[in-house]
Structure 1
Amino acid sequence: MRIAIVGYGKMGKLIRTEALSCGHEVVAVIDPWSPAPEITALNLDAATLGGCDVAIDFTHPATIVDDIVLYARLGIPAVIGTTGWYDRLDEVKDTVEGLDCSIIYSGNYSMGVAVFLQIVKKAALLFDRVGGYDSFIQEIHHAQKADSPSGTASMLAQILLDNSSSKQSIVAETLHRKREDDEIQVGSIRSGYYPGTHTVCFDSPDDTIELTHRARSREGFAVGAVKAAQWIADGRKGFFTLSDMLDDVFKNMEDE
């Protein structure tokens, strides 16, 4: 598989190493700011993406929507790891409607996180049925992380919202008021060198259940991003999430 890496920060470098170790070819590394010798182009366009089977994009929320539209117009499958743009998801889907697009997006490409999301979904359904439990999310990331809440925290909050009969909205900002009963709060901490810790809590007057995922390093994210590239480039068309990919993997396991 011939891969274009768009964005050559810490994640881009790890993705390149993982892709090469899996026997793939990295045909382009695109970044306007990096001085690394691996850079093949400064700007993203049809010419710089020529010859690639799939693009893996970990760039910036300010540019990612334009990137996605370009991939869709060129018919290049793309793995989107950039977060902070999900409020424009419907807009992007409308823009690329009718185009031959193959996009998978996620706030976290760790396979462990993918399974964690499924566990949280099941737990949310169970606690909603039992009743009497309030839910919230706390996440911790390194001090240099550019956005908050994290993409993973946003996905977790949406899972809680979608599977609760009593919750109506998500709040991620600091509250200077009483939190409403129908709100799910997401708390974010930026400090130190944490690769990422996410905790989902279900709390009642009698007990507390905590589900936590702790990343030990960023390597797991790179492994998942390359797996996602293989999956999306295998003839799939449309917009997908990592949960879609995991559902497909589970289905194939059941069929076997």
Structure 2
Amino acid sequence: MKIALSGYGKMGRMIESAAQSAGHTIVLKADIGAEGAVRVGSAAELAEAVKKSGADGVIDFTHPASVVENILALTHLGLPIVVGTTGWYDKLEEVRRAAQTGGACVFYSANYSIGVNLFYRIAEYAARLTAAYSEYDTAVSETHHRRKADSPSGTALDLAKAVMRGNPHKKETVFNAQDIKDDRLYVASLRVGSVPGTHRVYFDSPADTIELTHCARSREGFACGAVRAFEWLAGGLANGSLKKGALYTMDDMLVD
């Protein structure tokens, strides 16, 4: 398949390598100014560049400040769009309406690592088990490199949702340690060095601590997962198992 890349930073380059290894062709590398990419200064310019490239779809790893405009512009092309940028989910309904109007399919995930998405399910199950014992409290933490734009990470927020699905006693997430109450789930963030991404869930009681950890060794797992999501989305549209105008996530792709 022919893929257009929106964003050509470290992740964009890794996705290029993963896509080519899987037999796909990168027909466009668009970025606001990265070396080796076509310079695009607006969402409209991005959409025009994608249209001219003849791409079968787009993989976007850009920036929270620009991703929604990018998606809205791209939906008019009616192509499958895989979005790895996080920090925009408050605009999800606006994107959903645009996808329906433009006939595009949007696949979004805070983390494309298969391991992380399995980790969500493990954390939810563990939360369900410990919820039966009031002595256990729960918290989530995440650590990423210093250049990560959003905090807390989208992965940490999804992990918190998984924990709350398992533990009905937790009603909301908080990010300030002074706001912690029994029905609140505390999510802590740390930015340091070049850490690709580490996420932890703690189940703590006066007697002991249970700790679940997912530690990414590199960003390659994210890149391979994004390419796999593109293949799943484009393949599903081609065989009729998926429909245009819809939004999909890793929960739709992964088989129980």
The two structures have a TM-score, normalised by structure 1, of 0.89
Q: Which residue among 11, 24, 46 is the counterpart of 2:48?
A: 46
Letter in 2 for 1:48: V
Q: Which residue among 122, 126, 131 is the counterpart of 1:123?
A: 126
Letter in 2 for 1:40: V
Distance 1:164 1:34, change over 3 A: same
Q: Which residue among 69, 82, 87 is the counterpart of 1:84?
A: 87
Aligned match of 1:244: 252
Tell me the percent identity. Answer: 47
Letter in 2 for 1:123: A
Matches within 5 A, 1:5-154: 5-36=5-36, 39-42=37-40, 43-50=45-52, 51-154=54-157
Task: Give the 3-state SS of the residue equivalent to 1:71 in structure 2.
Answer: helix
Measure the CA separation in 2 of the matches of 1:95 and 1:56: 17
Distance 1:178 1:49, change over 3 A: same
Measure the CA separation in 2 of the matches of 1:2 and 1:129: 50
Letter in 1 for 2:234: A
Confirm or deny that 1:169 pairs with 2:172.
yes
Letter in 2 for 1:23: G
Aligned match of 1:215: 216
Task: Give the 3-state SS of the residue equivalent to 1:48 in structure 2.
Answer: helix
Greater displacement, 141-150 / 96-105? 96-105
Q: Is the 8 A contact 1:142 1:193 kept in 2?
A: yes
Measure the CA separation in 1 of the matches of 2:179 and 2:70: 40
Runs of 4+ in 1 over 6 A off after TM superposition: none
Q: Is the 8 A contact 1:28 1:49 kept in 2?
A: no
Q: Is the 8 A contact 2:64 2:149 kept in 1?
A: no
TM-fit CA distance, 1:98: 4.3
TM-fit CA distance, 1:164: 2.1
In structure 1, stretches of 5+ residues that fail to align are 251-256
Letter in 2 for 1:229: F
Matches within 5 A, 1:161-240: 161-172=164-175, 174-175=176-177, 177-234=178-235, 235=237, 236-237=242-243, 238-240=246-248
In structure 2, stretches of 5+ residues that fail to align are none
Measure the CA separation in 1 of the matches of 2:60 and 2:51: 12
Letter in 1 for 2:140: I
Measure the CA separation in 2 of the matches of 1:155 and 1:106: 9
TM-fit CA distance, 1:148: 0.8
Q: How many residues are paired up? A: 244
Measure the CA separation in 2 of the matches of 1:24 and 1:95: 27
Measure the CA separation in 2 of the matches of 1:130 and 1:89: 36
Q: Say what the alpha-carbon RMSD is for the aligned residues.
A: 1.7
